[in-house]
Amino acid sequence: MTPRVSVIIPAYNAAVYLPHAVESVRAQTYADWEIVIVDDGSTDHTTAVVDSYKTRLRDRLQYIHQLNRGVSAARNNGMRAARGEFIALLDADDVWLPHHLQRGVEAMDADPAAGIVHARVVRIDTRGSVTGQLKVEPKYLSGRIARHIYTRRAHLICSTVVFRKSCLPADGWFDETMRATEDRDLWFRIATSYKVAYLDQVLAHYRLSPSSTTSNLDGLLKAQLYFVAKHYNSGAATRLDQLQALGNIYRELGDSLFRGGAVTTSIGSYLRAVGYYPLSVPNVYMLFRAIMDPLVRVCTMATRLSGART
């Protein structure tokens, strides 16, 4: 019997986490699914982990091994093999909450015009402990939101996304030339033709690790700029969209540097953010904050020293 949902799990040297991901699928309240695990040339014991599930899952499990080509190629291979009407993405180091698929399928059935549904996540660390939630602005997360995806007002987290396989664009699936932002690229292209549904509830845990893509700021910036240029040059985005997107990219980079203690370096990113889009209050505010931070620190230290002397 053909499953209604195909769960695509790309795996690269994630054997330690893969059982948690698979078990979170098995724990779903919605049971009409298959799992497609795509091993992207792992050198750990990923194969042994998959073998341990073959007798338990039988024809509900597909296993594909490929030479190391990156997560985009792995997801594309998984989607080619998928038999389901819906595709649900789950990274090997993330986990779903039990109602994830049920809520996603219900949302898609309720609105045939929707091509994608997504939800909220909480962050977890390498040990699985919750470290916080991502801030969201729901008004940007549902409906015809292609522009918000492009300008980075809308963030769709892969491991919460369920989408119709029939909505995959004819001009390509995940862009295999991209090593980051490949998910935003696909969501943008789908959202130019279909509505996006949003569930304002936590349905997945997103694991952060030192080796995650977001820890490689230079590589991430390069991919983000490529994405912006790609769709501006194709005519899919306006000049205003491009400027807003660039402003948000450099402000987010500045935020990462600022949080990491590189305050002086962050000022350069905030200056670029304001230069691209000076009408953004967050851009201007963060530039002012970064400039003032050293002065505030000096004043605070002087106050403390003065208090110690009295």
Residues 296 and 201 in one domain: no
3-class state of residue 23 by DSSP: helix
Domain containing residue 63: CATH number: 3.90.550.10
Burial 161-197 (b: 16+ CB within 10 A, else e): bbbbeebbeeeebbbbebbbbbbbbbbbbbbbebbbb
Residues 63 and 169 in one domain: yes
Asked if residue 25 is part of any domain, the answer here is yes
Asked if residue 105 is part of any domain, the answer here is yes
Residues 35 and 162 in one domain: yes
224-276 per-position pLDDT tens digit = 999 999 999 999 999 999 999 999 999 999 999 999 999 999 999 999 999 99
Residues 140 and 276 in one domain: no
9-31 per-position pLDDT tens digit = 999 999 999 999 999 999 999 99
Asked if residue 222 is part of any domain, the answer here is no
Residues 10 and 69 in one domain: yes
Asked if residue 229 is part of any domain, the answer here is no
Residues 142 and 205 in one domain: yes
Q: Which position has the token pair 């889009």?
A: 277
Report the half-sphere exposure of 23 (CA within 13 A, side-chain side).
8
Pick the closest to residue 149 from 227, 253, 50 (CA basis): 227
Residues 158 and 279 in one domain: no
Asked if residue 223 is part of any domain, the answer here is no
pTM of the model: 0.90
> What letter would DSSP give residue 129?
-
| The total number of structural domains that make up the chain | 2
* Apex 182 CA angle, 194 and 210, nearest 5: 135
Asked if residue 118 is part of any domain, the answer here is yes
* Apex 247 CA angle, 276 and 200, nearest 5: 155
Give the integer Cα–Cα distance in Å for 204 and 188: 22
Residues 168 and 242 in one domain: no
Give the relative orientation of helices 182-191 and 217-233 as an angle to the nearest 10 degrees.
30
3-class state of residue 143 by DSSP: strand
What is the residue range of 47's domain?
5-213
Residue 35 phi/psi, 5° resolution?
Answer: -115, 130
All residues at 6 or more sequence positions from 166 whose CB lies less than 8 Å from its CB, including other chains: 85
Residues 170 and 243 in one domain: no
Contact between 166 and 179 (Cβ < 8 Å): no
Residues 101 and 159 in one domain: yes
Asked if residue 218 is part of any domain, the answer here is no
Residue 48 phi/psi, 5° resolution?
Answer: -65, -40
Give the per-residue pLDDT at 213.
46
Residues 166 and 303 in one domain: no
Asked if residue 220 is part of any domain, the answer here is no
Of 178, 213, 248, the residue that ends a domain is: 213
Of 153, 178, 213, the residue that ends a domain is: 213
Give the pLDDT mean for 281-304: 79
184-215 per-position pLDDT tens digit = 999 999 999 999 999 999 999 998 865 554 45
